[in-house]
Amino acid sequence: MLNGASSSGKTSIGRALLPLLADPWFLVPVDAIGAMRSAAHTRALDDGQIEEMLRRTRLGYHRAVAALASVGNHVVMDYPLGERWRLDVLLDVLEGYDVTLVEVWCAPAELARREQARGNRPAGLAASQTEVYGFGHDIRVDTTDTSPEVCARTIAEHVATLSPPKAFDRLRATALDPPSRG
């Protein structure tokens, strides 16, 4: 799982990572799931309805990844853990799967620059997602001055050397509240 703020480089790293991994892997960015949703209806929704639609989209994303993994597929998730409930649900939905949590970090000034250059994100989205970094990780890459290709090589080199318990296992063991099935 590539976890980082919007514009941190998760998708670029995921694309660079695929050819470096030994078995066939799927890159499943949450943005791809959101792009499948019709846009016409969202214009008529109020803020509460949009939030509920986004929650359902994220819950569906969790289960789509789990469904791919449940039949033996390897998946690279590209997903910001922007709200605690997302992690809680994933800890439950991905129970029994070998999850490597990769922190994709980027300096705030660079995030803001990338966000503005992209032009397809609300201003300040990346800055609002600082909570994505509070959960711990198995591998950390810093994309501020490092290319996606170098970050992908770092991940590929380290992922095979990790031994349990990994971040998801540690998070499950220390969870104070039981995971929400959401």
pLDDT per position as a tens digit, 89-144: 999 999 999 999 999 999 999 998 998 888 777 776 767 777 777 888 999 999 99
Q: Is residue 180 part of a domain?
A: no
What are the helix and strand counts (H, E) for the chain?
8, 5
Alpha helices in 30-179 (DSSP H): 30-35, 47-70, 84-93, 108-118, 125-128, 148-159, 167-174
Annotated catalytic residue within 31, 92, 142, 169: 31
Q: Is residue 182 part of a domain?
A: no
pTM of the predicted structure, to 2 decimals: 0.89
Residue 181: pLDDT band by 50, 70, 90 thresholds?
very low
The Cα angle at residue 80 between residues 75 and 82, in degrees rounded to 5: 145
pLDDT in tens, 25-72: 999 999 898 888 877 555 678 888 888 988 999 999 999 999 999 999
Containing structural domain, residue 59? 2-174
Q: Is residue 164 part of a domain?
A: yes
Q: Is residue 181 part of a domain?
A: no
CATH of the domain at 118: 3.40.50.300
Backbone angles phi, psi at 50, to 5 degrees: -65, -45
Domains contained in the chain, number: 1
DSSP annotation string for 101-126:
-EEEE--HHHHHHHHHHH-SS-TTHH
Respond yes or no: is residue 31 known to be catalytic: yes
Q: Is residue 60 part of a domain?
A: yes
Would you state the torsion angle of the CA atoms of residues 76, 82, 87, 90, taken in this order, to the nearest 10 degrees? -40
